[in-house]
Each structure stands twice: as structure tokens, then as C-alpha cells.
Amino acid sequence: MTFIASVLLLALTRAEIIERFKAPPVIKMQGLLQVVADCPADMRREYQLPVSSFAADICERLYRASGIKGSRFMDPGIVIYIGDVRTNMTDVVARRKVRADGSRFTRIFLPAPGFSDVERLRVEVTKAFFLAVVGVELDDEAARKALRESEPGFRTEEKYRELERWLRGERTNGGDEEMMKLQRSVLQLGVARVSDVLRFASRLYLYPETYSAPFCGNLHCCTFREAIDMSRVDPRIRFIALDKAPSVVAFGCGRGEALSAAAEAYSNFLRELAVGKRSADEMRNLLDDADVKLNIAMEEARKREEGMQK
């Protein structure tokens, strides 16, 4: 600090000095969220930044779960004030406010941020989000429900249940496109459920390019094992196998190493079938290897789900 700056600092009142050393507000979510710290700048890392990230993460998940596209706020809809009290106060105090232009916002006070009730803060941030973004006031129960629905795990379980309703024939409205989108989606990255393995297995068939031209004159589909001998009678099977090889890999990717390995093995089998240079016994050995890998993926999926139920 220079001599002139020191003189100027001494000329300030105590309140002005404290104010100058306070951390500036943190603004996130395109202005929706503002976190103000009633503390010196050196406490910014300890409280202000973690609280702002915590609240912003909640808002981001609520945006995704509700399907609302984020927009820019000229004035914050959620203002969190962080105090500098060092006692073990757990208070989280929320106040709904209305500006002169009629816009509503929420002030949330954390007198002692190091000891604040985290669950209460989650609920109040959720209520403040819906008030500012949707214009709706939620009670505690509705806010907790919105929080649960915003959790990635909750959304994954809902999609699995929805897909299984489709497969059981309980869901018929919405169109085939919605069902196909669910089937193609990787609902839980790096994990294969039993239903994922079963859906993958249901795709291990070859179909003629047009329904009016069945394989060998009378078959509208064939298994991969049947295709080994049939490809020598109907050459179209080889072309369809080559076309299907990449999609088999796509159906298995992203769902764990075991199912990905099975998908690669089946894809390799289809490519070799298309080339047509291996003997029938060699092709059956390739298919046996792929089947073993698929059984391993199914066994892993079953064990995982049994473990989750315990």
C-alpha cells in the first residue's frame, strides 16, 4: 500500500473501512442468484463461493427438471445474505419481497453460514426459485417434491419405469417416436440394467429390407445363428448384416464394459458374416463368444439389482 493510499484509508470512518474490505456480491444463473457476504474478502472462499455454488446447482437442476429455459434477470430473484456470526446458529430465514415494478423475489439470511441447516436452505432456495422463475409460491412439501424430482437418480428411475410400461403395453399414447427415443437413451451412464440387456438382446435379429420380400422367400426375420446358413442361400442377409453391424455397437455403448464388449463381439460377427469367408463352424464360434459376453453382462446386471434391493 502506498503512502497516499495509507493516508486516504486513515481518513475513512471505521464503517467505511469495513465496507471497503467486504467481499463483492457473487452473481450467478444469469442474474437469478446473488450472494452477498457480510464478511471481509478473505472469508469469500470459505463461505460466499461455496454457498453460491450450492444454490446455483439447485437452480440448475430445477431448470432441467421443469423443462424451463433459463433467462436473464435484470434484478436477482434470489438474494442470499451471509452473516459473520461464528456461533452454532442453524437459522435459515427467508423473506418474500415485492419490488416497485411488481416483480417478486426472496431474501434468504444465513446468520452463521458455517452451521446453517443445509436441508432448510435447499427447501428455501427451491421455493425462491419457483417464486422468481415461475411466479408460484410453494409450501415446504411441494418444494421437497420438486427437489426429489430434480435429482438425476429420480429422473432415471422415472424413465426406466416409463420404458417398462411401454414394453408391457400399458402405455400406448405418445407415439412410437417417444418410445424409440427412450429405448435409445443411455439412462444411467456406465450401468446396464437387466432391462437394458433384455432390450439389447431383442435387437439380435435380421430383417429383410422390405416386408414384401422375405428371406429365402418365406421368412420375415431370422436370428443371428439362423443367418449363418441362410446367408449362403440368400445373399441379401450379408448386406443387411453389414448394415446392422454399427447399430449393434451403438445399442450397447455407454451401458458398462460388459454390455459394450458383447455389442462389439456381435458387431464383429455381423461383419464377418457380411464378408462371407469364414466357415460355418468359425461363425458359430464367433457367435458363441458373443453370447457368453452377453450372459456375463446379464449376470452383472442381475447381481447389481439384487444388491440394490438388500
Regarding whether 119 and 105 lie in a shared domain, the answer is: yes
pLDDT at 136: 93
pLDDT, tens digit, 9 for 90 and up, residues 179-231 = 555 555 544 566 777 878 888 888 898 988 877 788 887 888 889 999 999 99
Say if residue 37's pLDDT is above 60: yes
Regarding whether 158 and 103 lie in a shared domain, the answer is: no
pLDDT bucket at 97, cuts 50 / 70 / 90: very high
**Final residue of a structural domain among 150, 166, 199:** 150
Regarding whether 146 and 9 lie in a shared domain, the answer is: yes
Regarding whether 272 and 209 lie in a shared domain, the answer is: yes
Regarding whether 141 and 25 lie in a shared domain, the answer is: yes
Regarding whether 142 and 7 lie in a shared domain, the answer is: yes
- Mean pLDDT over the full length of the chain: 81
Regarding whether 165 and 135 lie in a shared domain, the answer is: no
Instruction: Kindly report the backbone phi and psi dihedral angles of residue 261, in degrees, each rounded to the nearest multiple of 5, phi listed first.
Output: -65, -40
Regarding whether 117 and 253 lie in a shared domain, the answer is: no
Regarding whether 126 and 64 lie in a shared domain, the answer is: yes
Say if residue 155's pLDDT is above 90: no
Regarding whether 161 and 286 lie in a shared domain, the answer is: no
The pTM (predicted TM-score) of the whole model is: 0.49
Regarding whether 223 and 175 lie in a shared domain, the answer is: no
pLDDT, tens digit, 9 for 90 and up, residues 9-20 = 455 555 554 554
**Final residue of a structural domain among 135, 150, 165:** 150
Identify the DSSP state of 46: I
Regarding whether 191 and 271 lie in a shared domain, the answer is: yes
Structural domain count of the chain: 3
Range of the domain at 159: 151-185
**Final residue of a structural domain among 123, 150, 177:** 150
What does the angle CA 162 – CA 168 – CA 169 come to, to the nearest 5 degrees?
90
Residue range 265-287: average pLDDT?
95
